[in-house]
Structure 1
Amino acid sequence: MKLFFHRLFFLFQGLCSLSLSTMVLGKVKSFRVSYDCLNDSNVPVFSSGDCVSGRVIIEVTGEIRVKSLKIHAKGFAKVRWTESRNAGSNTAYTQNYTEEVEYLNHKDILIGHERDDDNSEEGLTTIHSGRHEYAFSLELPQTPLATSFEGKHGSVRYWVKAELHRPWLLPMKTKKEFTVFEHIDINTPLLLSPQAGTKDKTLCCWFCTSGPISLSAKIERKGYTPGESIQIFAEIENCSSRMVVPKAAIYQTQTFYAKGKMKEVKQLVANLRGESLSSGKTETWNGKMLKIPPVSPSILDCSIIRVEYSLMVYVDIPGAINLSLNLPLVIGTIPLHPFGSRTSSVSSQCSMSWLGMGLPERPEAPPSYAEIVTEEQRQSSLDVPAAREDLDGPLFAYIHEFRFQPPPLYSEIDPNPDHARRTEERRLDACPSR
């Protein structure tokens, strides 16, 4: 009798092994998400109201049985940072600040249906050996979306995740991000308006007062796109006794909001340096060029993340606080029209009389946002490490086409020195004699 039950046990075990091996006989060789791109550069870039379509690609060797194939599309802005707090009596604690705004949440089933019994073999779909593609599509909300962004304390991300469910096995998952641009058209009166300012500063040392340092600066408009060069028109007059250096820089300011608190990060994007200016000398920048590198567009409509830009034209004064002018910038995605409104150009030329110079003819339209990024850079930047499920972490600012690459810094020496000329003569009518 013992021998009979012993043989029966081994027979049952063999049948179970045979059944299980039949279910998992096939092997999934490849499982990924691919997008149908809307642009010629073959990069998944979308805007609000667009249809995001693509395919879930499964390549198998042998036959597999599938319970369901699901997709989940999500888009959200998320902010997170920590601060140390003192509770008294040598006690400290860490305060977490988090906030999240959801822009997209879409689910669909491409194969099968929802099942209560994960391991049931009824109603399974058989996928035969080879390559199989399962199409999906979804429409992004018509309401404004936040532009994809990765900052030090927050991010805006969009992705589609696919899950392959099979009986007796853990689900297979794959995820791929796509980029969303909330387009900013710089061809508007507000963004085509000139930006200008004037400041002066008098240096004091004990009971002695030197002459003033004056700075006037102007740019043709407020709105630009990456890849453009900003023409800076400025006049710097040094009537002090010190040697000073005129400079200009583009800064990106990231502002994060959570639980009524604010966290700000300022980052240098590009800069240039003028010639050293001795006492009694004046320097004029007649369209000195500062190129905008590939950076994220401005984000102005997200409630928890703002990305803003400014051009700082300043005079570096040794041993004193610098004299500086901040001119606001908006980095857009739709470039300047080649034959756009002449109103801004005409008004700009008239208002340049305070510098005694006119603006040049309107330049050729700058490249579009997608044109400044190579295909190789795009493809390599869009790969997301699979081990990071939530993709959290304090990363520096980037745009998806330049993931993990800080904005390049241009030389402090202007590549077009012919655009700047120096006035060597002393201005005795403005500067006191020494």
Structure 2
Amino acid sequence: MDYIREFDIRLEREMYYAGEILVGHVVLDTVENFKLRAVRVVLRGKAHAEWKVVISGDRRTVKDDQYFLDDRAIIWGKDVPEGNVPILPRGLHQFPFRFQLPESSLPCSFESKPGYIRYYIKVTVDIPYASPPQGMKYFTIIGPHIDCMDEQYLKPMMGQDKRTTCCLCCEKGPVVLRSQLERSAYVCGESIKLRANIDNQGEEEVRLKVKLVQVNLEFERSGDELQMHFPITIATVPFRIPNSNQQPSIHYEVACEHVEGGIYIGPEFLLGQVYDGSSSQEARETAVLYRPVYVSVLRSSSSVM
């Protein structure tokens, strides 16, 4: 609008954990006095899923939305349709707001093509005689917090597998692998001590390989499961065990404090430059309006023998 020079939403931080207090303020810089009924602020957390399915030969799109966080506040004026409308004097105004995030384990922010989890602040400037200006500010939820010293994570984890190979009806082996972790939760930079016991009853030499994988699960409305695997690296204690060739798969939780930007960014958060008709073929940088961050484990270049 002509009499609003600046309208912005600013947060104290861009990342929050569940249970923290979200603090920010709305900036309005006006060039003249005008009637303003209220400034409304909404805090929301939204999950959206979108799938392409084929039903009887027809390709359809199935969508589903869920709001698991919805809090509102009026930071200026009153939310009444009748009565005298107050006047906001011209100048620079900053309206503070704060929201208490719930203590429950909020799902962390997530961006992917089939779906996303987003948290945002929506501000509406309620002007009675014009279309109310609106603004949105996205932020990231990191978590949930994991206390690796909690009793449920201090129990040792054990796994066992037995493999027998066949070649032209001749059995080889078997090879029995037993593995154990001291507990099921670790923090960034911590060494994971894995104990492996291999009983090789065959004649061939086998080797042990260990792989850490982060698995993210998404469920369609029909109950089908989509698994996405992300490699995750954590500082481990190197070891050498001869005559082993098994791959133990043990699930564990990692309490991470380090965060990194996500790879996938929704197209609505990419602001490119408009083609001006010039013949220049220089690469044009794309501005990223919002990039979610995820917990990550720092890579360590040093190793302990």
TM-score, normalised to structure 1, is 0.53
Q: Contact between 2:219 and 2:225, CA under 8 Å: does it hold in 1?
A: yes
Alpha-carbon distance between aligned partners in 2 of 1:386 and 1:127, rounded to the nearest angstrom: 38
1:327 to 246, 250, 272: 250
Q: Contact between 1:98 and 1:258, CA under 8 Å: does it hold in 2?
A: no
* Partner-residue secondary structure (3-state), 2:249: strand
Alpha-carbon distance between aligned partners in 2 of 1:385 and 1:260, rounded to the nearest angstrom: 25
CA offsets 1:379-412 (integer angstroms, 9 cap, x no match):
x87xx989459xxxxxxxxx94349xxx68969x
* Number of the residue aligned with 1:92: 58
How far does residue 160 in structure 1 lie from its aligned partner after superposition?
1.4
Q: How many residues align?
A: 277
Alpha-carbon distance between aligned partners in 1 of 2:298 and 2:206, rounded to the nearest angstrom: 22
* Number of the residue aligned with 2:24: 54
TM-score, normalised to structure 2, is 0.72
Distance 1:254 1:64, change over 3 A: farther
* Partner-residue secondary structure (3-state), 2:193: strand
Instruction: Say whether residues 1:263 and 2:186 are aligned partners.
Output: no
Alpha-carbon distance between aligned partners in 2 of 1:267 and 1:178, rounded to the nearest angstrom: 22
* Number of the residue aligned with 1:248: 210
How far does residue 191 in structure 1 lie from its aligned partner after superposition?
0.6
Distance 1:331 1:262, change over 3 A: farther
Q: Contact between 1:32 and 1:58, CA under 8 Å: does it hold in 2?
A: no
Alpha-carbon distance between aligned partners in 2 of 1:147 and 1:30, rounded to the nearest angstrom: 30
Instruction: Say whether residues 1:194 and 2:153 are aligned partners.
Output: no
* Partner-residue secondary structure (3-state), 1:218: strand
Distance 1:139 1:211, change over 3 A: closer
Q: Contact between 1:163 and 1:174, CA under 8 Å: does it hold in 2?
A: no
* Number of the residue aligned with 2:106: 146
- Larger helix proportion, structure 1 or 2? 1
Instruction: Say whether residues 1:107 and 2:77 are aligned partners.
Output: no
Counterpart residue identity of residue 111, structure 1? W
* Number of the residue aligned with 2:43: 73
Distance 1:178 1:164, change over 3 A: farther
Q: Contact between 1:71 and 1:110, CA under 8 Å: does it hold in 2?
A: yes
How far does residue 96 in structure 1 lie from its aligned partner after superposition?
1.7
Distance 1:187 1:275, change over 3 A: closer
* Partner-residue secondary structure (3-state), 1:190: helix
Alpha-carbon distance between aligned partners in 2 of 1:99 and 1:66, rounded to the nearest angstrom: 36
Instruction: Say whether residues 1:223 and 2:185 are aligned partners.
Output: yes
Alpha-carbon distance between aligned partners in 1 of 2:221 and 2:185, rounded to the nearest angstrom: 32
Alpha-carbon distance between aligned partners in 2 of 1:200 and 1:172, rounded to the nearest angstrom: 61
Counterpart residue identity of residue 33, structure 1? R
How far does residue 185 in structure 1 lie from its aligned partner after superposition?
2.1
CA offsets 1:222-277 (integer angstroms, 9 cap, x no match):
112344332222244555455644221222222223434132213132369x9999
Alpha-carbon distance between aligned partners in 2 of 1:400 and 1:57, rounded to the nearest angstrom: 24
Across the aligned residues of Structure 1 and Structure 2, the Cα RMSD in angstroms comes to 3.9
2:303 to 403, 412, 416: 416
* Partner-residue secondary structure (3-state), 2:293: helix
* Number of the residue aligned with 1:424: none
* Number of the residue aligned with 2:120: 159
How far does residue 184 in structure 1 lie from its aligned partner after superposition?
2.8
Alpha-carbon distance between aligned partners in 2 of 1:236 and 1:58, rounded to the nearest angstrom: 68
Which stretch shows the higher mean deviation, 222-231 or 263-272? Answer: 263-272
* Number of the residue aligned with 1:31: 8
Alpha-carbon distance between aligned partners in 1 of 2:111 and 2:174, rounded to the nearest angstrom: 40
CA offsets 1:300-334 (integer angstroms, 9 cap, x no match):
xxxxxxxxxxxxxxx3xxxxxxx4432221234xx
Distance 1:260 1:99, change over 3 A: farther
- Larger strand proportion, structure 1 or 2? 2
Counterpart residue identity of residue 47, structure 2? A
Instruction: Give 5+ residue unaligned stretches, structure 2.
Output: 271-290
Q: Contact between 2:124 and 2:133, CA under 8 Å: does it hold in 1?
A: yes
Higher Cα Rg: structure 1 or 2?
1
